[in-house]
């Protein structure tokens, strides 16, 4: 199989992949807008058998138990779907296609004759892919800045705690010495 034919087939496959992704995104968006498209489910209730009914004490739930459940059940957002269905495959496809064009261009002169078409396709894919990569790096930088700020605050809290505990220990020792001196002075006065 000619490398040019393979590149053509890859271009057709990428266009088909983009069409499938666009269809999935449209269906997801339509389901969010029109709640009647969701398939209703009938709730079922399981009743216990009469012989196994036991009276149990109901424990009141602590607030921390509810908080941990709320934090873990955030759900999947539209942005999560977008990132995993479009952004990640687009970046991987761009890098893979560019690498394949470079590899076949070095080994086959026929690819070099049509290099303008391939570089145009790489540029079309590269624009959104570079924006996605830039945004991902910005998010990573923000996370690193937050971690750095957190560790600075934590380190300062440890330093403040150590200073306070050292001052408290010195104050306790000074009070003990003053008390000891006062007791000794009272004992000398009584004698």
This prediction's pTM: 0.44
The reply to whether 63 falls in a domain is no
Query: Does residue 183 surpass a pLDDT of 60?
Result: yes
Query: Does residue 89 surpass a pLDDT of 60?
Result: yes
Average pLDDT along the chain? 77
DSSP code, position 108: -
> 118: domain range?
3-38+78-190
The reply to whether 152 falls in a domain is yes
pLDDT above 90 as % of the chain: 18
The reply to whether 141 falls in a domain is yes
The reply to whether 60 falls in a domain is no
Per-residue confidence at 179, pLDDT binned at 50, 70, 90?
very high
Taking only the tens place, the pLDDT of each residue in 23-48 is: 777 777 777 777 665 555 566 666 66
The reply to whether 11 falls in a domain is yes
The burial class, CB within 10 Å (0-12 / 13-18 / 19+), for 23 is exposed
Given this model, what pLDDT does residue 187 score?
A: 85
* Higher pLDDT, residue 174 or 143: 174
Q: Which of 107, 108, 81, 92 has its CA nearest to residue 24?
A: 81
The reply to whether 31 falls in a domain is yes
Spatial separation of the C-alpha atoms in residues 135 and 120, rounded to whole Å: 23
Spatial separation of the C-alpha atoms in residues 34 and 52, rounded to whole Å: 44
> Mean of the pLDDT values across residues 184-190?
84
The reply to whether 68 falls in a domain is no
Number of structural domains found in the chain: 1
Taking only the tens place, the pLDDT of each residue in 1-25 is: 566 677 777 777 777 777 777 777 7
The reply to whether 97 falls in a domain is yes
């Amino acid at each position: 199989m000619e490398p040019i034919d393979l590149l053509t087939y890859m271009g057709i496959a990428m266009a088909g992949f983009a069409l499938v992704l666009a269809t999935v995104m449209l269906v997801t968006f339509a389901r969010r807008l029109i709640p009647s498209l969701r398939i209703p489910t009938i709730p079922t209730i399981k009743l216990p058998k009469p012989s196994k009914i036991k009276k149990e004490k109901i424990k009141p739930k602590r607030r921390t138990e509810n908080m941990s459940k709320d934090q873990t059940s955030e759900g999947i957002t539209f942005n999560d779907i977008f990132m995993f269905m479009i952004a990640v495959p687009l970046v991987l496809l761009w890098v893979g296609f560019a690498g394949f064009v470079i590899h076949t261009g070095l080994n086959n002169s026929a690819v070099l004759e049509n290099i303008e078409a391939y570089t145009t396709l790489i540029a079309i894919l590269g624009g959104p892919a570079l924006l996605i990569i830039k945004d991902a790096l910005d998010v990573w930088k923000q996370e690193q800045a937050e971690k750095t700020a957190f560790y600075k605050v934590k380190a300062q809290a440890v330093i403040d705690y150590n200073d306070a505990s050292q001052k408290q220990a010195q104050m306790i020792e000074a009070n003990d010495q003053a008390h000891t001196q006062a007791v000794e002075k009272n004992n000398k006065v009584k004698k």
